[in-house]
């Protein structure tokens, strides 16, 4: 039996991961560790509370002793580490929480794994990271696993630092680790402060849709459940010590994305209101990365993963979830 510690399982992606693993792996014990910051939404995971193979722990990864206790008490054999401060705008206003949780919190987990897993080669520390560690692209090219790290925001700097720590524990302590770097996710449960939820909420409430600068920045979008399936593949079959890039292959500028969401919204809820008039350009984010693009050929060929959800369908599901 694996005893899988999933951190950040009350957040957006973590909730989907926890629910998937609890339901698909009844033979394993799933321990969800989350300190429930503003970004957590416990009601998204109430439906798994009654499962025998599930346990929730309200613990802060910044507390090294508490983290070590969890490893000892539950004899943790595997970690899927998602807990993080995740919003770039917040990292610009207050970088400290990002350094504490994303860097120190990750090191606390690594230390607990190192100290409790001596000689255990069948264990795994899986660190979930972002494509933003690679920096910003011009109109051409894509991030590969070999692309040099060049983080530009305090958020991506903290994630890059945590990635380096994870790799260093593989090199220095032989800790069995794997890392994935994923592009922008969207889907149900995402916090309203993020871009796609902001757009959808603005449409529902018919209030201005804020777009940074001229809306030309380009992101590569992935439906959250496709990320979960990629995580599952890497968890089960990823090679220890390796990094896998995960991307949706759906690149679109922020402005075109808003037009697309409006189109899908009116498709679902036809009416005569001119939603395009809600578009409102605001001062650009400081140091705003221009473009992210992921080359995910490694996970596609090695682990036979590819995104399944069509963007239009994924957006419609997301709209319907927020509408409900
Ligand atoms: N959202 C994306 O598009 C995206 C893309 C690539 C990678 N990632 C990475 O995936 C992970 C999850 O992202 P998300 O969007 O679901 O984040 P989120 O902000 O929605 O959720 C983060 C969760 O971590 C918990 N948490 C924060 N600090 C903690 C602490 N000190 N101790 C314990 N728990 C803590 C929060 O309570 C929350 O439940 C992050 O590591 C993020 O860097 C996110």
Query: Tens digits of per-residue pLDDT, 262-283?
Result: 999 999 999 999 999 999 999 9
Rounded Cα gap, residues 47 and 36, in angstroms: 17
Annotate 85-140 with DSSP letters as a single string.
---HHHHHH--HHHIIIIIIIHHHHHHHHHHH-TT-SS-EEEEEEEGGGG--B-SS
**What is the residue with the minimal CA distance to atom 10 of ligand 1?**
82
CB atoms within 10 A of CB 106: 27
User: For residue range 106-165, what is the model confidence (pLDDT) as tens digits?
Assistant: 999 999 999 999 989 899 999 999 999 999 999 999 999 999 999 999 999 999 999 999
pLDDT value at position 58? Answer: 98
pTM: 0.98
> Is the predicted pLDDT of residue 52 greater than 90, yes or no?
yes
Predicted local confidence at residue 121, as pLDDT: 83
Q: Which CATH number fits domain 3-188+222-249+292-309: 2.40.110.20, 3.30.590.10, 3.40.50.1820, 3.40.50.720?
A: 3.40.50.720
Query: Using a 6 Å CB cutoff, which residues line ligand 1?
Result: 7-8, 10-14, 34-37, 39-40, 60-62, 82-86, 101, 105, 128-130, 159, 182, 184-185, 191
> Bigger pLDDT: 308 or 119?
308
Mutate to test the pocket of ligand 1, among 7, 10, 13 (most ligand atoms within 8 A of CB): 13
**Element at 259 (helix H, strand E):** helix 254-268
Report the interhelical angle of 195-205 vs 254-268 (nearest 10°).
40
Mean pLDDT of 229-257: 97
Q: What is the pLDDT of residues 54-73, one digit of tens each?
A: 999 999 999 999 999 999 99
The percentage of the chain sitting over the pLDDT mark of 90, rounded to a whole number, equals 98
Domain locations in the chain as residue ranges: 3-188+222-249+292-309
The pLDDT tens digits for 180-224 are 999 999 999 999 999 999 999 999 999 999 999 999 999 999 999
| pLDDT at residue 85 in the model | 98
- Hey, whose CA ends up nearest to atom 12 of ligand 1? 82
Residue pLDDT, tens place only, 227-240: 999 999 999 999 99
284 vs 77 pLDDT, higher one: 77
């Amino acid at each position: 039996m694996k005893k899988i510690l999933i951190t950040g399982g009350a957040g957006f992606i973590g909730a989907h991961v926890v629910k998937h693993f609890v339901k698909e792996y009844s033979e394993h014990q799933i321990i969800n560790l989350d300190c429930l910051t503003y970004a957590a939404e416990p009601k998204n995971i109430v439906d798994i509370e009654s499962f025998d193979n599930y346990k929730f722990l309200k613990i802060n990864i910044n507390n090294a002793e508490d983290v070590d206790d969890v490893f000892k008490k539950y004899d943790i054999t595997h970690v899927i580490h998602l807990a993080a401060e995740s919003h770039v705008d917040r990292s610009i206003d207050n970088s400290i929480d990002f350094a504490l949780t994303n860097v120190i919190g990750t090191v606390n987990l690594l230390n607990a794994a190192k100290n409790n897993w001596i000689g255990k080669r069948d264990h795994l520390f899986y660190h979930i990271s972002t494509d933003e560690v690679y920096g910003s692209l011009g109109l051409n090219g894509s991030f590969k696993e070999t692309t040099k790290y060049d983080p530009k925001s305090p958020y991506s700097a903290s994630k890059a630092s945590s990635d380096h720590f994870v790799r260093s524990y593989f090199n220095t302590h032989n800790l069995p680790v794997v890392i994935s770097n994923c592009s922008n996710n969207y889907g149900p449960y995402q916090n309203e402060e993020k871009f796609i939820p902001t757009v959808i909420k603005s449409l529902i409430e018919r209030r201005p849709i804020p777009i940074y600068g001229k809306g030309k920045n380009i992101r590569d979008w992935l439906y959250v459940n496709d990320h979960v399936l990629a995580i599952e593949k890497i968890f089960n079959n990823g090679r220890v010590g390796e990094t896998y890039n995960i991307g949706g292959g759906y690149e679109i500028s922020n402005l075109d994305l808003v037009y697309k969401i409006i189109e899908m919204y009116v498709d679902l809820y036809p009416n005569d209101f001119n939603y395009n008039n809600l578009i409102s350009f605001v001062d650009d984010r400081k140091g705003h990365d221009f473009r992210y693009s992921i080359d995910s050929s490694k996970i596609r060929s090695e682990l036979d993963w590819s995104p399944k959800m069509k963007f239009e369908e994924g957006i419609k599901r997301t709209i319907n979830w927020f509408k409900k």
